[in-house]
Structure 1
């Protein structure tokens, strides 16, 4: 009977192989781009390097010593207790990573920590001398961030 014919089903398997080939090509391009990218950049997919972590802590330490202006306000901040906190964090990082760093990473961290500690000592001496000479005077009990409640700062006479 002519009405009893089963409809023919044609399976196009070629599109599957084309889709798989396209997927493989895109994955290869993505892997190539990732291999060419430098680690630690600003992209969200790029890993942060050990040196960048160290630099971040050192920049904060120097910022709170007044060595680097605040990027938002362009004003210098003197908060030695916060600077010391960041320097201490670098010290803990050095202590906890001892024996696990490459020679270059170890030298980088040691040098950075030495520089930060020296800057802290130099700025502290300069502030103490300026206070002694009457060029600046402490506000409240301890030097800190000017104008912030609970964190007295230094002001010039």
Structure 2
């Protein structure tokens, strides 16, 4: 078997595809449509970097030192549930938003988080430990009760 490097094949058709997508996007913009209204030949997406509002990006969060927020916990179902629980409590106005230090009630968002946890529970049924199943039940019960209470107060 010879020790030769494999032949490198460069696909130059991508350039033509990108140019075609740019033309479609420009034509769609002129016609008042979004680029997503136009069919494409493949499932790849082109990101219009000129449309990104760079002023809205929180560069402090990107450039922050990992030591500023402490150690990152290992990825687990418990951490995910705790995160969703915290987000829901923030949406219920029970705890303040850490960015603004203000508590604001957003019941539709709270309901969305509760529904998301419920879907996660349904999709993981049979694949969770007893502790994880108990955590689902307790979190959902507490959040539903808090949601009902906040709904009455609104």
Measured against the shorter chain, the TM-score band is 0.5 to 0.7
Q: By how many angstroms is 1:42 displaced?
A: 2.9
User: CA deviation digits over 1:114-145, x for unaligned, max 9?
Assistant: 10111000110111xxxxxxxxxxxxxxxxxx
- For 1:78 and 1:88, how far apart are their aligned partners in 2? 17
Where does residue 71 of structure 2 map in the other structure? 42
Where does residue 148 of structure 2 map in the other structure? 121
Provide the secondary structure at the position in 1 that maps to 2:126.
Answer: coil
CA RMSD of the aligned region, Å? 1.4
- For 2:71 and 2:146, how far apart are their aligned partners in 1? 28
User: CA deviation digits over 1:23-74, x for unaligned, max 9?
Assistant: xxxxxxxxxxxxxxxxxx834xx63111110011111111011001010111
- For 2:115 and 2:137, how far apart are their aligned partners in 1? 13
Where does residue 96 of structure 1 map in the other structure? 123
Where does residue 134 of structure 2 map in the other structure? 107
- For 2:135 and 2:120, how far apart are their aligned partners in 1? 12
Where does residue 25 of structure 1 map in the other structure? none
- Number of residue equivalences: 85
- For 2:130 and 2:137, how far apart are their aligned partners in 1? 11
For the pair shown, the structure with the greater C-alpha radius of gyration is 1
Gaps spanning 5+ residues in structure 1: where?
1-40, 128-157
Q: By how many angstroms is 1:92 displaced?
A: 0.4
Provide the secondary structure at the position in 1 that maps to 2:131.
Answer: helix
* Pairing 1:58-77 to 2, within 5 Å after superposition: 58-77=85-104
Gaps spanning 5+ residues in structure 2: where?
1-69
Provide the secondary structure at the position in 2 that maps to 1:82.
Answer: helix
Where does residue 78 of structure 2 map in the other structure? 51
Where does residue 78 of structure 1 map in the other structure? 105
Where does residue 14 of structure 1 map in the other structure? none
User: CA deviation digits over 1:138-157, x for unaligned, max 9?
Assistant: xxxxxxxxxxxxxxxxxxxx
